[in-house]
Amino acid sequence: MTIRLGDIAPDFEQDSSLGRIRFHDWLGDSWGVLFSHPADFTPVCTTELGLTAKLKDEFAKRDVKVIALSVDGLESHQGWIKDIEETQATAVGFPILADADRSVSTLYDMIHPNANDTLTVRSLFIIDPQKKVRLSITYPASTGRNFDEILRVIDSLQLTDNHKVATPGNWKDGDDVVIVPSLKDEEELKRRFPKGYTAVKPYLRLTPQPNR
């Protein structure tokens, strides 16, 4: 199954390190990050899960729930979590799906046979409160994810959902943003962007981040 941006994230029910999870119910009205790992007791994954745990407060202030997935079973997960907590000096407080039957991996197209026909690639999905997929990233198994980028994208999505702006290349929270080209009424521009804007080109108008 190919999942495209804007699709409703497929629902599922699966065991996890924190008990049985029905995905949509677990998400509730929160944003979500679902990300997969090739297998338990793998070095890059251990660092990624440790980093995710350390970013607990950053995800919480954005109202984001995180959930990981590996194709190994619950007993293996529990042993791996102990290793993660020991080596990364943090507590893993989020669930890790035990997708031993590969049902979720298949549902989300996380297994790419040309890369490996049994293990997941590093897939990641950002899902909004309406359960729509807003971002998907697929990394090779050998490359760890950049969680600063994941948080940056969430900041951009949450900002642009609430204001008629887009975020330019390399944007970070607090930087100037771009007014969407469809907004042309001067009175509305003044109302929405009281700090004014700079028109570099008629289609390229920069303004201070409106929620700052």
Structural domains of the chain, ranges and CATH numbers in brackets: 13-145 (3.40.30.10), 163-207 (3.30.1020.10)
Of the candidates 109, 127, 96, the one whose C-alpha atom is nearest the C-alpha of residue 27 is 127
**Which one of the listed residues 27, 45, 53, 110 is annotated catalytic?**
45
Pick left, alpha or beta for residue 191 (phi over 0 → left; psi -120 to 50 → alpha; otherwise beta).
alpha
| Cβ atoms 176, 207 nearer than 8 A | yes
Please state, in angstroms and rounded to a whole number, the distance separating the CA atoms of residues 96 and 45. Answer: 12
DSSP H or E segment with residue 184: none
pTM of the model: 0.93
pLDDT digits 0-9 by tens, 61-111: 999 999 999 989 999 999 999 999 999 999 999 999 999 998 998 899 887
3-state SS, 59-92, equals HHHCCEEEEEEECCCHHHHHHHHHHHHHHHCCCC
Question: What pLDDT is recorded for position 157?
Answer: 98
Q: What is the pLDDT of residue 119?
A: 59
Q: With a cut of 70, which residues of the chain have pLDDT below it? A: 1, 112-121
Q: What pLDDT does residue 78 have?
A: 96
157 as an active site residue: the answer is: no
